[in-house]
Amino acid sequence: MTNHILFRIEKLPFASLSGLWISFFQLFLIFTLIFTLVFWLNTNRKIFVFSGLAFFLVLLISLSRDLILNQRREELIFFSLRKNTAISYINGKNNIVLADFDSSDKIFSYSIKPTLEKRGCSDIRISNIDQSSEDKFYWSDSNFMQFGKIKVLRWDKNISLPTSPTGIKVDILLFSQIPMVKLSALNDLLEFKKIIIEAPNSDFKIKSWLAEAEELGIPTYVLKKSPALVMKL
């Protein structure tokens, strides 16, 4: 009977909902509301009515707080993917995903979309990271990107090492799958504050970069076998 009822509900118009995310605290409040309702129906004591109204008010405040925080949210996310690159910039209701795959790829459905929906993003835009794109919140020109005030240089196999100082200043140097390069050489030619290393790079190169970065005092984050890097701006 339960399966039959659920099947009928599933066939109703607009019966499918997605992007619903609640915290553990909100889940606790919902269960508490259910229990107070059950106790009130069984005992008919007013204390459970007042308790239920109090918990319901706290739940509304918590949900409203999440809504306000999502509208003010500004984050830059570097996703930890095994073979691909994906960067998301969230600015309130505006968001963009720069990636080397499109929205039909399973990686987007399983790794990218849930993370953004949890942060209140409903209309998720995805753009090819190798093509130029921009709006009033960001711009991207293949290897050079700017999200708000944060400038990113994506170093991949298509970039050649400059032979002379270029005066390029960025906040983040993103290592895609690239040949081995000395950080000291980059440090002499570029100005950057942080290095992010993507998963496709070999363990040998990552180990060498980490050792050199420690000597040079450069903050480094490795996405390989690590959670996504979330930067609050």
pLDDT mean by block of 10 residues, the chain; 233 residues: 83 73 90 91 87 92 88 92 92 89 88 88 87 88 89 83 68 88 82 92 92 92 93 91
In a domain, 2, yes or no: no
80 lies in the same domain as 156: yes
DSSP 162: P
Please name the amino acid found at residue 91.
Answer: N
Cα(7)–Cα(14) distance, integer angstroms: 14
Q: What is the structure's pLDDT at 71? A: 83
Q: What is the structure's pLDDT at 161? A: 59
68 lies in the same domain as 98: no
195 lies in the same domain as 222: yes
* Rounded alpha-carbon distances, angstroms, from residue 62 to 28, 65, 80, 102: 12, 5, 30, 34
Cα(230)–Cα(79) distance, integer angstroms: 8
106 lies in the same domain as 180: yes
Q: What is the structure's pLDDT at 163? A: 59
In a domain, 11, yes or no: no
Q: What is the structure's pLDDT at 48? A: 87
Q: How many domains does the chain contain in total?
A: 2
85 lies in the same domain as 153: yes
Q: What is the structure's pLDDT at 26? A: 92
Span between the terminal Cα atoms of the chain, in Å:
51
Q: What is the structure's pLDDT at 160? A: 64
Domain limits at 28?
A: 22-72
122 lies in the same domain as 61: no
